Chains A and B, each alone.
Chain A
Amino acid sequence: MPRAKGTESENEMSILVDKNTKVITQGMGKTGQLHAKMCKEYGTQMVAGVKPGSAGTEIEGMPMYNTVADAKAATGANVSVIYVPPGGTKGAIIEAVDAELDLVIAITEGVPTLDMVDVMRYIEGSKTRLIGPNCPGVITPDECKIGIMPGHIHKKGHVGVLSRSGTLTYEAVWQVGNKGFGQSSCVGIGGDPVKGTDFIDVLEMFFEDGETEAVVMIGEIGGSSEEQAAEFVQSHPKRKPMAVFIAGQTAPPGKRMGHAGAIIAGGKGTASDKIAAFERIGVPCARTAADIGDALVSVYKG
């Protein structure tokens, strides 16, 4: 079976990123610098930054290069993380795809949707996987943290966490931890309507991953990715114990709830539809965000 895009490691230790992952930061502004530094302190191999016109300089001990291709050639990096402003994100992703990186994680919030339409067409047939935009990033605890999540709440273990939302992912990780479980990897896929990686892609990786024993998935109103994920899980031969929470049960139709993707439109994308899709296939849904840990414990004892 061919490996999913962007999964570099052969040894089935977590998904997407691990201790061997080498990361380039695109967009070394204030935000990019802060998070590059924090990820480096966590232990991630933050090997380079890309800042046009700054080749030969260093920021926070990381060498700067003019382009992603130069940074990759000099450091052997295989992943990039993007903090450039919304107007430049399309170009930054395309640059990383052209440099044939395995994985690009776009943290930037507020990217125009039609830019993402172009990007998704451009990325077709390439070797690069995109996660985001508008996401917190990816972490494999104690090995590699790429993105803006607080590192200290995570601990190494066997529960995979994936989510469309940022802080709600942290809440889920926190509760999983309070139940005594660590995480194999945590992936924030982002809240935008057009994005690089969807629930199904990550579920596939978690189901194939030897380190992951159970999965917590956090969805929200809008679109039909959660319903598709439920369908995918139902027929998957390597299905694992799973708990789900869907945010937005009280959201009124037609109102955008922060994320560009979180809106109930034309009666579609309601929380109750999504919850029903999972309950139908025997996956428990936490009644409130306070019950995420309990929902996991109801199907997984560690």
Chain B
Amino acid sequence: MNIHEYQAKEVLARFGVAVPRGVVVKNRKDVDSAIEQLGGDLWVVKAQIHAGGRGKGKIVTPENARKVASVCHTGKDAVAEIEKQKLSLSKGVTVTNDRAKVKSIVETVLGNHLVTIQTGNAGKSVNAVYITEGVDLIKDPIGSQLRAGQEKDFELYIALTVDRETGKVCILASREGGVEIEVVAHEKPELLRKIWVDPCVGFQEFAGYQIASDMKLNPKQQKSFVKLIDGLYRVFTALDASIVEVNPAVVTADDDVVALDAKINFDDNALFRHPDVEEMRDSTEEDQAEQEAHKWGLSYVPLEGNVGCLVNGAGLAMATMDLILRYGEKSGISPANFLDVGGGAKEEQVKAAFSIILRDPAVKAILVNIFGGIMLCDIVARGIVAAAKDLGVKVPLVVRLEGNHQAEGKAILKDSGLHIIPADSMADAGEKVVKAALGEI
């Protein structure tokens, strides 16, 4: 689960991490009181969406967002197109010392769309703006190590995540903050330092001082940086995070290290023991169909193709998507979704799965691929028949049932009187569903 930057910063502050003061604004009427509360003479106005790349992102009207999306496939293309057509009303993040401008920016941003390289082609609607006090950036005295000879702001990178290989929490840190860390990792991996935490003892300060001194921070900066890491580690473990990332953490003129941006993702498997985390969920950021699927215990990811898939098991579901693309690529047929009904789906879940798939108007055919281990084929077949009748499924349905009670399952489909195309193997299913989507069978 993902949360907004303003929520992440509230969490960090609770754990003693230094963050700039800020006020979240969801209505333009509240801008004045927010500025009043913050005081000072420099403000940062940050659009709140669940995606990165906001600083270089573009604010556009919903109409223009749709227009651009119709000709672009990715967020990256869309950002370029917006620039080309000069449709941008503002950036995702604005720094200003002009009070009136804070107000006008908030008015521009709220209700419009922010398109970044991470949002996808249509961008995301902005429903909240975070206004924070400005922090004076200073230049890094040793300059950029990534681009030798160039100046850079004194910005650090720090992130925590679980490393699959060691099975431990890994802390990654670099003096080359502010940029995309993948660039650092790719071009100069020695500038990205890593330590792994033994869960028996937790984060130890000496390990933090080791990386802080490797990063050539001065003693006061080191102390502040170690405190930051300690806070982030406590957030990570106390709340079952999957990623805690601060990029950048800035070093101030007073040698303090402050989290200027923050991102926290939580482990969905652990939400059951963190109702306070669950409360931070912003369901407007999540795909409606994905949420509906989640309620039914289904795992669903919408894609851009035209063949719906209903499969049991995540691996088989991915393999089914791959199969559709392989058979259909040349004729413009590709999967419309990932959908795993799970191991023990009941009739109602199968029906819910159909209704979710059918919400997507692009779907021209549906492939059901079930390998009934524990899930019995006759139960799946009953679910298919009930759904097809109740929902009035109009698109062709290709069904492959294998495993326990397959004979009974196939008989139920055959006797249903519905137009269901049976398939005997994955290869057969792939070929048939592509033909069905093309209207050839």
A237, CB-defined interface residue at 8 Å: no
Is the C-beta of A205 less than 8 angstroms from some C-beta in chain B? no
7 contacts across the A-B interface (CB closer than 8 A): A110-B269, A150-B403, A167-B313, A251-B318, A257-B314, A271-B322, A288-B323
Q: Tell me the A36-59 residues at the B interface (CB within 8 Å).
A: none
- B162 contacts A87, CB within 8 Å? no
Q: B143-151, B347-355, B369-377: which one contacts chain A? A: B369-377
Chain A nearest Cβ from B332, distance in angstroms: 14
Q: Tell yes or no: B63 within 8 A of A by CB.
A: no
B-contacting residues of A (Cβ < 8 Å)? Answer: 31, 34-35, 86-87, 109-118, 120-121, 136, 148-150, 152-153, 163-171, 174, 191, 193-194, 218, 220-221, 223-225, 228, 245, 247-252, 254-262, 266-267, 271, 287-291
**How many residue pairs bridge A and B at CB < 8 Å?**
181
The segment out of B277-285, B385-393, B425-433 that lies at the interface is B425-433
Q: Please report which residues of chain B, range 163-192, place their CB below 8 angstroms from some CB of chain A when the two chains form the complex.
A: 164-165, 167-169, 182, 185
Q: Is B88 on the interface with A (CB-CB < 8 A)?
A: no
Chain B interface category by residue count: 35 or more
Complex interface: chain A residues within 8 A of B132 (CB): none
Given A113-B269, A289-B320, A290-B427: A167 in contact with B315 (beta carbons within 8 A)? yes
With A165-B313, A257-B338, A262-B318 known, 20 other A-B pairs at CB within 8 A are A112-B269, A113-B269, A114-B270, A117-B199, A150-B403, A166-B343, A167-B313, A167-B315, A170-B371, A191-B315, A221-B318, A245-B319, A248-B318, A257-B314, A258-B299, A260-B267, A288-B322, A288-B430, A289-B319, A289-B323
Q: Does B247 sit at the interface, judged by CB under 8 A?
A: no
B268 and A260 contact, CB distance less than 8 A = yes
A152 to B162, CA, bound (A): 38
B299-319: which residues lie under 8 A (CB-CB) from chain A? 299, 301, 303, 311-319
A87-B272, A113-B270 given; A258·B199 CB < 8 A: no
**Residues 318-345 (chain B) with a chain A CB within 8 angstroms:** 318-327, 334-335, 338, 340, 343-344
Most buried by A among B165, B200, B319, B403: B319
Contact B322 A111 (CB under 8 A): no
Q: Contact partner of A153 among B317, B318, B403, CB < 8 A?
A: B403
| CB proximity of B270 to chain A, nearest CB, Å | 4
Q: In this assembly, does B86 line the interface, its C-beta being within 8 Å of a C-beta of chain A?
A: no
- Known contacts A288-B319, A290-B427: does B267 contact A167 (CB below 8 Å)? no
CA A58 – CA B118 in complex, angstroms?
56
Contact A167 B322 (CB under 8 A): no
Q: How far does the alpha carbon of A163 sit from the alpha carbon of B425 in the complex, in Å? A: 20
**B153 within 8 A of partner (CB):** no
Known: A165-B316, A168-B315, A174-B402. A113 touches B162 (CB 8 A): yes
Q: Which of A109, A149, A249 contacts B325 (CB 8 A)?
A: A249
B198 within 8 A of A: yes
By a CB distance below 8 angstroms, the chain B residues around A220 are 314-315, 318
- Nearest CB of B to A269, in Å: 9
Closest to B373 in A: A150
Question: How many whole Å from B106's CB to the nearest CB in chain A?
Answer: 29
Closest chain B residue, CB of each to CB of A152: B404
**Is the CB of B48 closer than 8 A to any CB of chain A?**
no
Tell me if B242 is interfacial: C-beta within 8 Å of chain A: yes
A101 to B395, CA, bound (A): 53
A151 smallest CB distance to B (angstroms): 9
